[in-house]
Amino acid sequence: MISLIVAILLVLLAIYFNEGIRKYSQLLYIGMTLLSILAFWQIEATLFTPIRLGGLGFGIFYVVMLTGALKHKSKLRITLMKVRMEYSILGFIAITPHALYQLLKYINGDIAIPILGIIAYAIMIPLFITSFRVIRKKMTYQNWKTLQRFAYIVYIGLSIHLILNSALPNFAVYIIEFAGYFILKVMYEVKRYQRTKSKQFA
Ligand code: HEM
């Protein structure tokens, strides 16, 4: 449930505080890093349950995912695209305590290997690093674009990771979130294909 509330809040923040998010992005990154360090330090505390169970990190990440599936040139897509980089960086920082905590639980033999979570997180590392403008500028646009396509492996891996590792009501929320994403994405790609086709024959 947390991930849905976080996602809605972030969409509203993107609509009403778009410029502020971009202007104060460095401060947001520092703030989220401090929160993540504190949460990892006190990971069992009830206060940090949304971080321990991945709800906060996934909520932020879901907005990044959804942005790429929204209707071409729609107002919401244009608005969210402006803060997508910032949200993908904040999402990675926010999910890190969850990944590390669960990884330690696996290393200590407390849980079975959550392989899809580990693969998703591992792929998110280069995507995170290349989200920073200073790094992105050092890459050709084509290389950067090719790397970003690995995000689709993350999306598919996460959809299974979350469905396998959650119970109701969260389980139902993840089904709705991922079904919504995949339906919108298919519609977006079909429209994009039709656009390129009609341009070819124009
Ligand atoms: C090293 C990487 C990861 C590991 C080892 C891992 C491990 C786990 C485990 C063991 C659970 C079950 C937790 C429980 O029921 O107590 C879980 C649940 C979850 N994970 Fe991960 N995970 C990883 C990466 C990720 C990533 C990258 C995301 C999202 C971006 C994510 C989001 C979630 C969410 C939302 C849940 C469901 C919690 C719930 O609603 O009950 N995980 N993960």
Calculate how far, in angstroms, residue 162's C-alpha sits from the geometric centre of ligand 1. 6
pTM, two decimal places: 0.94
Q: Residue 5: what pLDDT? A: 97
pLDDT digits (tens, 9 = 90+) for 52-86: 999 999 999 999 999 999 999 999 999 999 999 99
Q: Which atom of ligand 1 is nearest to the CA of 3?
A: 35
One-letter amino acid identity for 63? Answer: V
* Cis check: omega of the bond before 50, within 30 degrees of 0: no
Query: Is the CB of 111 within 6 Å of ligand 1?
Result: yes
**CA 16 – ligand 1 centroid, Å:** 30
Q: Is residue 48 helix, strand or coil?
A: helix
Contact 26, 91 (CB under 8 A): no
User: What is the average per-residue pLDDT within 113-139?
Assistant: 95
Residue pair 83/19 in contact (Cβ under 8 Å)? The answer is: no
- State which ligand 1 atom lies nearest to the alpha carbon of 111: 10
In this predicted structure, what is the pLDDT of residue 77? 97
For ligand 1, say whether the CB of 114 is within 6 Å of any of its atoms: yes
Cα 99 to ligand 1 centroid, rounded to whole Å: 7
pLDDT of residue 55: 96
Residue 102 CA to residue 39 CA, distance in Å, equals 13
Per-residue pLDDT tens over the stretch 82-116: 999 999 999 999 999 999 999 999 999 999 989 99
